[in-house]
Every structure is written in C-alpha cells, then in structure tokens.
C-alpha cells in the first residue's frame, strides 16, 4: 500500500509539472506574439529588462500554481469523497462525523483564505518594494559615496528592513491563524472519529482491523484540504509575478492588420502624408500628437526637430506602422495605410533607430536583418556605404565576429553604423532615421552624418535631427512642439543653417 | 554572472561551505531564536507523533473492551497532543518567519557595507547592471538560510533521536529498523531531490539561456524586428527554444517526481519493517499487543520530521551558491583605502594635479600619463577631449574614487592620499557621468547632500540647472516622485537634476562630468554658461568635463585632454580653441 501511495505521489507531481510546462509555453508564446505583432512599437517605460526576466522566470513561477496548487485543489475534492466511500460500509457513524466536519474546512478556508490572500499579496508586494529599494541604492552607490551618504543609507536599509519585518509579522500573525484553525478543525474531526470508534470497539460493534483502518484514513481525509491552504501561500508568489505578464497581454493592440488588405503603395513615386493625425498613449491623458499634417514628397529629405518629449518618435512610429493613429490617417499615394497589410507596407521602409539593437549573431547576420537574402558583396557594400567597413576591419573575426548577447560589445557609434548598413542593405524607397546624439565625439559624429546623407540620396527620407548640422543637410526642416507641427520657412530655416555653420567653424 | 561563479569554481565544496559559514556568521547572534524555532518545530512533530501513536494504542486497547474509565487518560492525551501540535506549529511559523526577516535585515546591511568601498572602480570587468541586480537577488535569497535550509535538518535530527528513543523504550528491537530507515530517508530523500534538481538545472541551463536571449531581444528589439519583417523568424525561434525547454522540463519533472514519491514510499516501508520486528515479540507474549499499533503509527508519523529535507537540501544549495557569489564580490580589494591616521585638509587653497598617472592594470597602458592641472576657488575650467581620453578617470581621481599610480593630487598642499576619503568628497564634489536618480521625491534627490535644505534653496538650484519652469509645473512640485517608479524624466532632465544636486551641495570644488551630454545645442550652451558663472558667484572652483563644445566661451580656462595628457588649451575667455 505504501508503494501505491508513493506511486500516486509520483503521478501527481509528474502530471502537474507536465501540465505546468505546457501552460508556460502557451503563455510565453502569447507574450511573444503580443510584443511582435500586436504592439510592435515597443513598451512604454523603462522596465523592459524586467519583463524579459518575468517571461522566463515569472512564467516559471506559475509552476507552483499549476504543478502544486491546482492538483492539490483536485485532490481536496477527490480524496475526501473516496475516503468517505471507503469508510461508510465499514463504520457509518464515523462516516457521518466526517461528512459533517469536512464541509466546515472549506467554509472556514474561504473565510480565512480571503484574509490570507490579501496578506500574502501585501507581503509579496512589500518584499518586492524592499528589493527595489536595495537595488536602487546599490545602483546609485557611486552617487551616494560622492555625496558622503553611503553610511547613512546603510542605516536607512536597516530601518526599512526592520519596519518591513514588524509590518509583515503583524499580518502574518493573522494569516497563519488560518492554518491554526484548519489544524484544530482536522484535529477535532479525528478526535471525534476516534472517540466514536472507541465506543464502538468497546461495544464490540466493529473489529480492531476496521477500527484501525478508519482511524488511519480519518487524518488522510483532512490532509489534502490542509495542504491546499499551505500551497495557496506558495502559489500566490508565482501568481503575483505572472500578473506582470498578464498586464502586458491586457494592453490593447496598437496595429491591426485589415481583413482584406489592398496592395501596398510605393513611396518611390507617391507622396506619403500624415493627415490631421492625433495620437495619445493609453492611460496618459495628454495627446502626444495633436492634429499633425505632413507631406513627404518622393525623393525629398525632411528633418524633424523639436524638444525631447515632443512626439518625434511617435510620429516616426506611425510612418513605420508600429502604431496606427487614433484620429486622422497616414496615407501614401492617397491610399490609407490602415487598409494595407502592415508587413507589406514595412517592406517599403527602412528604419535606423536612435539606439539600435544588435541581435545575437555575426555582424553579417545583423546587416542582413532587414535583407535576409543579401549576398556577401551586398553586405560589404552596405557596410562601406555606412562608413562601417573600418569598424568591421578592426574586429577580430571581421564579418563573422559575433555581437549582441554573449558576443563582442560594440560602442554606441559602432552599433549606429551597423544599423545604418542595415538600412543600406534593405534598399527601401522610404527611410526613417533617428539621429544618434549622446556620446559620439565630434569626429565620429561627422562620419556618421556623411553616411546618413548618403542614405537619403535618391530616397524619401524623414530624419529626426538633434544637431543643427544634420538638419542643415535636409531639404526642409519642420518643428514638432507640444504635439503640433510647425514648418520652418526661409528665415527660421536660415537660422538653423547659420547655427550649423557657426558650429562647423568652431 | 558566470564571471563571478568562475572565480571560486575550482575549490568547489570547501568554498561553498566556507561561504555559507561566513554568511551565518554575518547574521549576528541569532542562536536563541534559532534554538526556539527548532524547539517549537520539534515540539510540533513530537506532538503529531504522540497523537497518532497514542490513538493507535487507544484503539487497540479499546478493542480489548476494558472499562471505559481506564481509557480516560489516553483520551485526554490525544486531545492535548492534537491541540499542542496546532499551537506549536503556529508559534513555530511565527518565530521562524520573524527570524528570517531579522536575518534579511542583517544581510542587507552587511553586504551593502561590503559593496560600498568597491563602487566605483572596484568591480572591473564585470557588467555592472547585471552584477548589481544579481547581488540584490542573492542577498534576498539568503533570507531562506534559517527558515528553509538550516532549520529543517535540526528538526529532523531531533525527531530521529526522540522517535528512536521512544521506540526503544517501548520495544528495543523495533528501534533499530526505525533508526535505520529514518537515517536512510534523511540521506536518500535530500540526495535524490538534490541530484534530480541539479541534473535538471544543468540540462536546462543552455535551453533557458537561449530562450532568455530570444525574449530579451524581442522585448528590446520588437520595433526593429517588425520593421525588418522578421517577427515571424523570432516567434519561431522563441517557440522552438521554449519547446526545447519544455521537453527537458517534462523529462526532469519525472526525476523530481520520483524523489517526491520516495519519502512516502519509505514511510510505508518503515511501518512494515517495524511491524515485522515487533510481531514476534507480540506472538511470544513478551510485548503487549496493544503496543504494536502504537509502534507502527509512531514509525509512520515520525517521517513528518524528515520529509522536508528534500526541499531543505535545494534551499541549502541555492543559499550556498548565493553566498559564494556574494563572497566573490566582497573579497575584491577596495581600490582606495584610508590611512590609519588621516591628515585634516586645510581650510583653503587650490586643488593641484601634478604629473598624474593612472592605469587600470599593473602592466596596462597609461590612461592618464602626466596630467598637470590647477583648480582655484572662484575660477572655472572646462576640460574637453575625445571619448576614451581619460576625462572620467581624472574626475574619479579628483574625488579619490581612485588613487594615482604616479604623480599626486593635493588640496592646499595636502596629498589627497593622506586625507580621509569622506573629507575629500566633502570638499571636492562630483556629479558623475552616470549620476543616479533615486526612486524618491525630487526634493530628496536634489537635497541629497543637504537633506535639511529649504524648499526655496532646492527650487533655486533647479532653476539654475534650467528646470525651474518644469519643476514649478509639476502637480506635486518638489514632492513629485521621480526615478524608477516615479514620473518619467528624460535623459536631459535627469542630467539637470544631477547638476542641481551639485549646485546645492556646499563643496569647495564642483566637478561636473558630461553634464550636457543629453541636451540639445542651445540647452547645453546655457547650462555650461550657468555652471561657469557659479564659480564667480559663489567662489567655488568649477571643473566641467564635456565633449560638447557649446558655452565654453564662458570659462576662465579651456583645456584639452588627449592621449592621457593636457594637449593644449587657452587661458582667458572668448577666443576659439
């Protein structure tokens, strides 16, 4: 019988984990599709690294829910039923006692469990806050030392940890009461059964073997219910972690593919227009773009300038169809892009973001990102055009050097030029480019600028320009401020040019 | 991560055990609480064993149809043990959780203090963000040390001793199989659980790493993948790696499940072995038959004490790994150490850099190779130069985040190496290139060096850093939460807040490292002019390090750092370089 019990324990553990693995895969798959297809514009906020961690570990944390809590919940129903069925023919008075006491446990659990759930959640959240606080001061340690505040901060950490302990213990004293009540209930049930059996044995109503069987079975009846309470505490941690992923999945899609798409227009011979376009990030009231109108004529280069936070990146995202406008429309040759398949439109566009991502792989693979079929010669030509060939030449394995995660770390300027090479390899009629700003020294900035100008030649281009020098190379400069667009003509345009000349002379 | 574990890998077990010992030592004297927690835990299990054993006796005795009164004591005993068990369990959970939180507080402070002298500069070659988040996770992990790793073995040991002793008193021959089986379970269950988990971890690590890379790339690079039309490839990749991982997880789940079933199986086998050792004595009439059920139930119940050892072994492993990684960081030598008898800095004087040479490794190339520089109260100096010229290294040397490898830096004639670091940093203030914005209010961030500063002083500093209008327009004003969890602050605003922080501090010399890197041309020029003007207005000495060349005309002196030395410059204002 013990072998049988061991086998059952094995079976439940195994089945639970297999199920958990399957659910985890499903959830991860949904997250990946959501990020790449439904909301490809990227996540708002700065905690992107955390989401990736949650998608690997947070989903794993669900395992305790699927592999432990859910099976235990099933056991909590099946086992008492099976034991009752077993006990009734042996000793019906004992069965009657069990039948009456067992429902008390779930009732009490619901009553106390609510309390326990709140306190578990509160505990998990305050622990997370405490970890975040330690990470925050550890990340700012150099700053704290520079201002002579490191020792004070150690005291603050001690105080915060102590306050957290007192606060948490206060909730735990109540939360653990649930287990105490459950144990006492189970104990009471077993004691009642034992007394009944005792009386029956003395009366000779049942034999010793039957009495022992019922006595051994009685605690087993309550065990799964009590375990369920314990697993509830464990699984709450996993669920709270996974909520982060559900929160992302709950965000609405920013791009919708039309059911019957029309063919994608070609910006090589058609004007791309933003027509009275407005856009607001959900949850944040103020509109990022507010009635913006802009035309990009074939072959012209437009520089977009404006203070940070003015909505320049959002405007670029709409052109790339990483998001669709809330009001107004983006069109090409008169065709509303909302009627075009997003992927088909994006095939006509090349994009150089401000902080490009290098994907794990070789330099050549990274250049081929947007042009998977490009020949070796085409890759080299693209790198040369992007002024990135000397970067590659310095790398230990040249084009075959691995970059990205686990590979060689390229500087911001080097990564920028590889991203430019991507755009050359793509050879698309429309180019959207976000100029690199910070931490390029003047020499490098000039080289990159030359390559950017070369990329715009013969194509329609929108540049998000941060330095006057680049804006001055454009055919036209427009300013975005507080979500509204202002075209700079003549004088203002001239001022930008003058600034640039001044800068170049310095 | 791997760079850290690699350090101590060769001496394996010894390093792990030693690291654990030192982690225990680091938690202060918690022995009374540990003893109390183990006592309560053992008491709860003893009560559970006694409850079941006594019930067995009660029923066996009842079957002999004695007068009901003779059972009275046993019935009371059963109730007593039942209630005691529940109460002891409740108290034990409270004491052990309280212990865990106290341990956590000790560990946080201990490791934070250990990290202080190493930042910046003491963690070369380690990717800092990753190291620091790992560090925090490891410290948090160690809170399980008593609660889940060290407590259960102590309780198990006490249970084995007490259960065997009780069995020996009732019937000596039954004690031997019980002892043997309990010990076997105490060794086999953790070993099986641990080896299953370890093997699983080893097999799963590469698949997990591959999947992590996919997910990081998708989270960070989704827009680029979508525009490049490659989203399908990355979805397929993540699905593939996810399926690989799931396959391994399912396989390893079977091994884990075997370990889970093992304890239950052993408990039953023990009951059979004890029965087998007892029945002959009952048949021979040397042992009261009612004690057979008592012994068998005692044997089964005592396994409750050894069952948690599987999970404890895993916790212990995790704690040892965490302690080892933390030690690997804390064992690094501090880049700067104070003299035993530091010399006080004189109240005035210039900050002079004379022939300063610095390199990162003993045989490496010189990053700074003979820098001469003079900062005077009331004067402003700008230092420009290409990236990699050693500008930030110079800034760090000026506040004693690192010491010279050649030449010297002196304030009012006193070599900084002879002064206490704290005193140097109170006199020479640095706004570093990666100045951190803490997750607290705007007021606390700006007032970091002067927590008692008036709101007007903080607003004024923000105004001088170019954030006056922005701060005034915030709904909660200076009490607005910024940083990680607070309002979204752009890179440029972050830099201005850090500059305001330094403008508010009362140092004799203010050093700004790249204060305008994220600002546009007009903004950068205005901020740099304001910083230069500060020197004249307050009499503080100001050094601004910048690769941006706007606003340099306002400085008293502009120097160019190139190839590790001052390559040129101009005194006076106005003329182009």
- Per-residue pLDDT band at A336 (split at 50, 70, 90): very high
Nearest residue on chain A to B254, alpha-carbon basis? A14
Q: Select from A380, A387, A350, A385 the least CA-distant residue to A363.
A: A380
Chain A, 174 to 193: residues with Cβ < 8 Å from chain B are 176-177, 179-180, 183-184, 187-188, 190-191
Q: What angle do CA A42, A358, B119 make, to 5 degrees?
A: 90
* CA B120 to each of CA B115, B356, B432: distance values in angstroms, whole numbers, following the listed order: 10, 19, 10
pTM, rounded to two decimals: 0.72
Q: Which residues contact B370 (CB under 8 A, 6 or more apart)?
A: B355, B356, B357, B406, B407, B564, B565
Chain B, 344 to 403: residues with Cβ < 8 Å from chain A are 386-387, 399, 401
DSSP-H helix ranges across B447-490: 455-464, 468-473
B101 in contact with A, Cβ within 8 Å: yes
What is the reported pLDDT for B125? 54
Token pair belonging to B125: 């070659």
Please count the residue pairs, one from chain A and one from chain B, whose beta carbons lie less than 8 angstroms apart.
Answer: 369
Token pair belonging to A22: 């399957």
* CA B310 to each of CA B23, B152, B153, B188, B198: distance values in angstroms, whole numbers, following the listed order: 22, 10, 10, 9, 12
Q: Do A45 and B211 count as a contact with CB atoms less than 8 A apart? A: no
A466 in contact with B, Cβ within 8 Å: yes
DSSP notation for B83-94:
HHHHHHHHHHHH
A162 in contact with B, Cβ within 8 Å: yes
Secondary structure (3-state) at B567? strand
Q: Select from B244, B222, B220 the least CA-distant residue to B234.
A: B222
A247 in contact with B, Cβ within 8 Å: no
Number of H helices, E strands in chain A: 18, 12
Token pair belonging to B254: 């079977």
Mean pLDDT of chain A: 79
B58 in contact with A, Cβ within 8 Å: yes
Buried/exposed code over A170-201 (b: 16+ C-beta within 10 A; e: otherwise):
ebbeebbebbbbbbbbbbbbbbbbbbbbbebb
What is the reported pLDDT for B408? 93
Q: Which residues contact B62 (CB under 8 A, 6 or more apart)?
A: A197, A198, A201, A202, A211, B71
Interface test with A, best of B73, B227, B521, B558 (most A CBs within 10 A): B227
- Per-residue pLDDT band at A82 (split at 50, 70, 90): confident
Quick check: A30 and A249 in contact, CB under 8 A? yes
B5 in contact with A, Cβ within 8 Å: no
β-bridge partners, A389: none
* Residue A19 burial (10 A CB sphere; 0-12, 13-18, 19+): middle
- Which residues in chain B have Cβ-Cβ distances shorter than 8 Å to A56? 208, 211-212, 215
What is the reported pLDDT for A495? 43
Instruction: Choose among A13, A143, A150: nearest Cβ to B257.
Output: A13
Quick check: B256 and B200 in contact, CB under 8 A? yes
Strand B380-384 with B541-545, pairing: parallel
The sign of the dihedral angle between the CA atoms of A324, A330, A332, A337 is: positive
* CA B445 to each of CA B457, B483, B504: distance values in angstroms, whole numbers, following the listed order: 13, 9, 11
Q: At what angle do helices B72-115 and B309-330 cross, to 10 degrees?
A: 20
* CA A85 to each of CA A82, A90, A198, A205, A220: distance values in angstroms, whole numbers, following the listed order: 5, 10, 21, 20, 13
B566 in contact with A, Cβ within 8 Å: no
What is the reported pLDDT for B5? 35
Residue keyed to tokens 């690094």:
B332
Quick check: B428 and B466 in contact, CB under 8 A? no
B276 in contact with A, Cβ within 8 Å: no
DSSP-H helix ranges across A250-399: 312-319, 342-346, 363-367, 376-385, 389-394
Q: Do B439 and A132 count as a contact with CB atoms less than 8 A apart? A: yes
Secondary structure (3-state) at B349? coil
Secondary structure (3-state) at A439? coil
Nearest residue on chain B to A4, alpha-carbon basis? B265
Output A217 or B259, whichever has higher pLDDT: A217
Sheet of strand B428-431, all strands in order from the earlier edge strand to the far edge: B428-431, B509-513, B541-545, B380-384, B557-562, B565-571
- Per-residue pLDDT band at A350 (split at 50, 70, 90): very high
Tell me which of A271-285, A367-381, B342-356 is least confident. Answer: A271-285
Report the C-alpha gap between B272 and B265 in whole angstroms.
11
Question: What mean pLDDT comes out for the span A359-385?
Answer: 92
Q: Which helix (H) or strand (E) holds B430?
A: strand B428-431
Q: How far is B107 from chain A (nearest CA, A)?
A: 9
Secondary structure (3-state) at A294? strand
What is the reported pLDDT for A346? 92
What is the reported pLDDT for B124? 61
What is the reported pLDDT for B12? 45
What is the reported pLDDT for A444? 75
Residue stretches of chain B with pLDDT short of 50: 1-12, 572-577
Report the C-alpha gap between A324 and A314 in whole angstroms.
10
What is the reported pLDDT for B376? 93
Q: Which residues contact B41 (CB under 8 A, 6 or more apart)?
A: B88, B92, B96, B151, B152, B154, B155
What is the reported pLDDT for B333? 85
What percent of chain A shows pLDDT beyond 70? 78
pLDDT tens for residues A143-153?
A: 888 888 888 88
What is the reported pLDDT for B420? 92
Q: How far is B49 from chain A (nearest CA, A)?
A: 13
Strand B509-513 with B541-545, pairing: parallel
Q: Do B213 and A405 count as a contact with CB atoms less than 8 A apart? A: yes
Looking only at Cα atoms, what is the longest distance across chain B? Answer: 115
Nearest residue on chain B to A426, alpha-carbon basis? B228
- Which residues in chain B have Cβ-Cβ distances shorter than 8 Å to A176? 90, 93-94
């Amino acid at each position: 019988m013990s072998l049988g019990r061991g086998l059952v324990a094995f079976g439940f553990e195994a089945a639970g984990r297999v199920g958990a693995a399957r659910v985890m895969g499903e959830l991860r798959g949904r997250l990946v599709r959501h990020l790449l297809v439904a909301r490809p514009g990227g996540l708002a906020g700065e905690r992107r690294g955390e989401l990736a961690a949650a998608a690997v570990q947070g989903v794993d944390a669900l395992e305790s829910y699927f592999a432990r809590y859910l099976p235990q919940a099933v056991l909590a129903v099946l086992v008492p039923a099976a034991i009752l069925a077993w006990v009734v023919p042996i000793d019906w008075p004992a069965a009657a006692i069990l039948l009456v006491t067992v429902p008390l446990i779930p009732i009490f659990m619901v009553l106390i469990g609510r309390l326990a759930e709140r306190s578990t959640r509160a505990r998990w959240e305050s622990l997370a806050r405490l970890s975040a606080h330690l990470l925050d001061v550890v990340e700012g340690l150099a700053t704290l030392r520079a201002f002579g505040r490191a020792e004070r901060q150690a005291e603050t950490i001690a105080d915060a940890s102590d306050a957290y302990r007192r606060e948490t213990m206060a909730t735990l004293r109540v939360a653990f009461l649930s287990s105490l009540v459950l144990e006492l209930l189970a104990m009471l049930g077993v004691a009642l059964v034992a007394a009944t059996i005792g009386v029956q044995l003395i009366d000779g109503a049942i034999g010793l073997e039957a009495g022992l069987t019922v006595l051994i079975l009685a605690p087993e009846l309550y065990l799964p219910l009590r375990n369920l309470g314990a697993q509830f505490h464990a699984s709450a941690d996993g669920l709270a972690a996974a909520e982060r992923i559900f929160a992302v999945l709950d965000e609405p899609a920013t791009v919708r593919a039309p059911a019957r798409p029309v063919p994608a227009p070609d910006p090589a011979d058609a004007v791309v227009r933003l027509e009275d376009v407005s856009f607001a990030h959900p949850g944040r009231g103020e509109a990022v773009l507010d009635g913006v109108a802009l035309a990009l004529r074939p072959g012209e280069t437009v520089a977009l300038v404006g203070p940070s936070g003015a909505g320049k990146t959002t405007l670029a995202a709409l052109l790339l169809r990483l998001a669709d406008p809330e009001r107004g429309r983006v069109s090409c040759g008169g065709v509303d892009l909302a009627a075009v398949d997003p992927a088909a439109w994006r095939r006509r566009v090349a994009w150089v973001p401000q902080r490009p991502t290098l994907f794990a792989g070789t330099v050549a693979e990274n250049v081929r990102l947007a042009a998977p079929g490009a020949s070796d010669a085409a890759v080299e030509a693209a790198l040369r055009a992007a002024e990135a060939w000397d970067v590659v030449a310095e790398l230990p394995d040249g084009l075959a050097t691995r970059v990205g995660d686990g590979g060689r770390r390229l500087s911001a300027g080097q990564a920028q030029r590889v991203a430019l090479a991507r755009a050359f390899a793509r050879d698309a009629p429309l180019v959207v480019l976000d100029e690199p700003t910070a931490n390029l020294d003047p020499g490098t900035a000039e080289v990159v600028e030359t390559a950017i100008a070369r990329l715009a030649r013969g194509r329609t281009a929108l540049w998000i320009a941060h330095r006057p020098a680049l804006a001055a190379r454009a055919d036209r400069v427009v300013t975005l401020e507080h979500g509204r667009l202002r075209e700079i003509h003549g004088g203002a345009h001239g001022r930008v040019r003058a600034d640039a000349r001044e800068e170049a002379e310095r | 991560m791997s760079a850290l574990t690699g350090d101590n890998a060769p001496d394996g077990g010894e390093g792990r055990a030693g690291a654990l010992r030192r982690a225990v030592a680091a938690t202060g004297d918690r022995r009374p609480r540990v003893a109390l927690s183990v006592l309560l835990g053992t008491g709860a299990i003893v009560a559970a064993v006694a409850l079941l054993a006594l019930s067995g006796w009660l029923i066996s005795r009842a079957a002999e149809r004695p007068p009901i009164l003779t059972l009275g004591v046993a019935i009371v005993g059963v109730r007593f043990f039942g209630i005691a068990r529940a109460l002891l369990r409740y108290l034990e959970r409270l004491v052990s959780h309280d212990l865990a939180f106290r341990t956590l507080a000790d560990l946080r402070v201990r490791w934070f203090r250990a990290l202080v002298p190493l930042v910046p500069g003491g963690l070369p070659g380690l990717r800092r963000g990753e190291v620091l988040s790992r560090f925090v996770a490891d410290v948090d992990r160690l809170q399980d040390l008593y609660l889940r790793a060290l407590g259960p073995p102590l309780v198990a040991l006490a249970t084995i001793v007490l259960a065997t002793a009780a069995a020996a008193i009732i019937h000596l021959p039954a004690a031997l199989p019980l002892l043997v089986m309990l010990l076997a379970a105490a060794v086999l269950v953790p070993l099986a659980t641990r080896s299953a988990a370890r093997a699983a971890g080893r097999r799963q690590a590469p698949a997990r790493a591959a999947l992590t890379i996919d997910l990081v790339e998708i989270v960070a690079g989704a827009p680029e993948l979508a525009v490049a039309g490659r989203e399908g490839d990355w979805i397929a990749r993540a699905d593939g790696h996810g399926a690989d991982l799931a396959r391994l997880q399912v396989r390893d789940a079977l091994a884990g499940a075997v370990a889970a079933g093992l304890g239950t199986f052993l408990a039953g086998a023990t009951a059979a072995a004890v029965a087998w050792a007892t029945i002959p004595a009952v048949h021979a009439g040397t042992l009261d038959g009612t004690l057979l059920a008592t012994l068998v139930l005692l044997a089964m119940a005592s396994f409750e004490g050894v069952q948690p050892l599987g999970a404890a072994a895993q916790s212990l492993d995790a704690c040892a790994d965490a302690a080892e990684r933390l030690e690997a960081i804390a064992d690094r030598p501090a880049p700067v150490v104070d003299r035993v008898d530091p010399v006080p800095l004189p109240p005035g004087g210039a900050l002079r850099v004379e022939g300063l040479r610095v390199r990162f490794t003993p045989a490496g190339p010189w990053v700074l190779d003979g820098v001469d520089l003079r900062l005077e109260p009331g004067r402003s100096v700008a230092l420009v130069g290409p990236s990699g010229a050693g500008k930030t290294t110079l800034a760090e040397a000026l506040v004693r985040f690192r010491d010279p490898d050649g030449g010297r830096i002196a304030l009012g004639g006193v070599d900084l190496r002879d002064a206490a670091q704290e005193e140097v940093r109170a006199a020479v203030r640095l706004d570093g290139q990666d100045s951190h914005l803490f997750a607290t209010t705007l007021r606390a961030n700006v007032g970091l060096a002067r927590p008692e500063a008036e709101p007007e002083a903080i607003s004024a500093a923000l105004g001088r850093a170019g954030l006056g209008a922005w701060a005034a327009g915030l709904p909660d004003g200076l009490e607005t939460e910024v940083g990680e969890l607070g309002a979204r602050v752009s890179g440029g605003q972050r830099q201005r807040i850090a500059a305001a922080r330094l403008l508010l501090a009362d140092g004799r010399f203010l050093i700004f490292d790249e204060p305008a890197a994220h600002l546009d041309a007009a903004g950068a020029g205005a901020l740099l002019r304001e910083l230069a003007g500060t020197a004249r207005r307050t009499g503080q000495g100001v050094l601004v390090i910048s690769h941006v060349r706007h606003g340099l005309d306002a400085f008293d002196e502009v120097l160019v750092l190139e190839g590790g030395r001052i390559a040129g410059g101009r005194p006076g204002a106005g003329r182009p370089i």
